[in-house]
Amino acid sequence: MMHTAGVDYTLDSCLDPEAMRPLLQQALPGAAGRGVVVDRLRVLSARRNASRHRNPHPLTLRYEAEVHDDATGAADTLQLYGKVYRGGASAQARQDAPALHLPQLDMLLWRWPADPGLPQLAHLLDPEQTRRWWGQPARAVSALRYEPEQRATLCYSRDAANANDRQLYVKTFSDARGEALLRRFTHFHEQSARDRGSPAVARPLGYCAQTRAFWQAPASGIPLQQALAGRDGAALPGRLAQALVAVHAAPHALAGVQAHDTAHWLMEVRRRGKKVSRAAPHLGSRVVRLADAIEQSAALLPRSPLTVIHGDFHAGQAWLDGERVVLFDFDEFAMGDPMEDVAAFLARLRTLTADPLFAARFLAAYEQIAPAQYCRYRLQWHRVVQQMLQVSRAFVFQVPDWRAELERRLTVAEALCAADAMRQLQ
């Protein structure tokens, strides 16, 4: 099946729990006929890639399998990471990385916490890891976020009278980027101690090079969406704008090595456009027209003051603790146009609040605090670019009914491109 013209069917089979369940049943040690039965299989997440040149793996997935042992009645839940190969390459890869092999799909499956890119996971899942901070092992360890072969966030918990002493967090990576996180969070933690107007962050504890792990205390406060329902909702746009301006004023040494300049985004727009065209050929001409309009407008944009940017700023990255905004997730810091962060926040704002005035208040506050950085033309351009990213993500992350969602997001991007600020640039 893998070596015939039915490649799309094979990928679709990987995404179909009922098609996958008997194949997993055959691959599991102690499978059917020897006691272990796969009762249920769920796809937790999926990532598609249509380019053979950039990525040899057309599909990576995470599964959750509920199994039981007929002989003992014992039940278990397995977390599995699956990677699809091309041209039978999984057979060779299997020799270098112990994993379940599904040759029918050219796929390898690793059971959590086994991960070829994060071999330190099993060590970090030991409750004894907290002894250096608490003087005792944790009561429990859980995974909050997990991106296979890239990163994971773990939470350690214990019983303690003080709520702030009940948890610890660690972020571990496939590389040494945790060192940069320590520097970034240390800067903002020290700044917040000096200036009550600065955003707060969870207290950084340290970095372990051996496990590539950045340790952090818990943060105080409530999620932004919860804060919006309170009485201080009207003041939030201004506080958020002030917190974001503080990020943009951070020392340039805190930024990552990659610059998010206009050239970077023009290359990304073309790359994402090709991805969408491969996934949905009938939308190819529309995608090309949109990419052309973005490129034409870029040549006329006012000069951008490059600053440190958050790189992934959205509502989920902020809490409210009293009157202070608490910021999270400094993984993607880069040098770039501050309007990129503003546009990224607006792109996902509709999931945060139905208040039609929230965005306007946020923008007005940002312009008042940092007038030299605010530019409605660059903002509108970045909003179109961000929406273009959302178009491709519908396919990449296989959102439900992704084909219809892809077209819906493309329509939104086209409407933004036709807006007044973009028309004046073209």
Quote the pLDDT of residue 2: 38
- For residues 333 and 413, give the distance between their C-alpha atoms in angstroms, rounded to a whole number: 25
Helix/strand/coil for 226: helix
Quote the pLDDT of residue 31: 52
- For residues 188 and 193, give the distance between their C-alpha atoms in angstroms, rounded to a whole number: 9
Residues whose CB is less than 8 angstroms from the CB of residue 198 and which lie 6 or more positions away in sequence, other chains included:
188, 191, 192, 243, 246
- Copy the structure tokens of residue 100: 């379940």
For the residues of 120-153, what is the DSSP string, one character each?
Answer: THHHHTSGGGGHHHHSS--SEEEEEEEETTTEEE
Quote the pLDDT of residue 9: 45
Helix/strand/coil for 203: coil
- Copy the structure tokens of residue 402: 């992704």
Quote the pLDDT of residue 30: 62
Residues whose CB is less than 8 angstroms from the CB of residue 388 and which lie 6 or more positions away in sequence, other chains included:
269, 272, 273, 290, 291, 294, 413
- Copy the structure tokens of residue 130: 């907290």
pTM, two decimals, is: 0.90
Quote the pLDDT of residue 72: 85
156 phi/psi in degrees, rounded to 5 = -105, 140
Closest CA to 309 of 267, 286, 343, 269: 343
Quote the pLDDT of residue 7: 39
Beta carbons of 389 and 272 less than 8 angstroms apart: yes
Alpha-carbon distances, residue 42 vs 13, 303, 399 (angstroms): 13, 48, 15
Quote the pLDDT of residue 352: 63
Tens-digit pLDDT string for the chain (426 aa)? 333 444 344 688 999 999 999 999 888 876 545 578 899 999 999 999 877 666 789 999 999 999 998 888 899 999 999 999 998 999 988 877 789 999 999 999 999 999 999 999 999 999 999 999 999 999 999 999 999 999 999 999 999 888 888 999 999 999 999 999 999 999 999 999 999 889 999 999 999 999 999 999 999 999 988 887 766 667 889 999 999 999 999 999 999 888 999 999 999 999 999 999 999 999 999 999 999 999 999 999 998 889 999 999 998 999 999 889 999 999 999 999 999 999 999 988 876 665 778 899 999 999 999 999 999 999 999 999 999 999 999 999 999 899 999 999 999 999 999 876 666 766
Beta carbons of 201 and 189 less than 8 angstroms apart: yes
Taking every pair of Cα atoms in the chain, the longest distance, rounded to a whole number of angstroms, is 72
Closest CA to 306 of 330, 334, 328, 265: 334
Quote the pLDDT of residue 226: 84
Quote the pLDDT of residue 107: 94
161 phi/psi in degrees, rounded to 5 = -65, -40
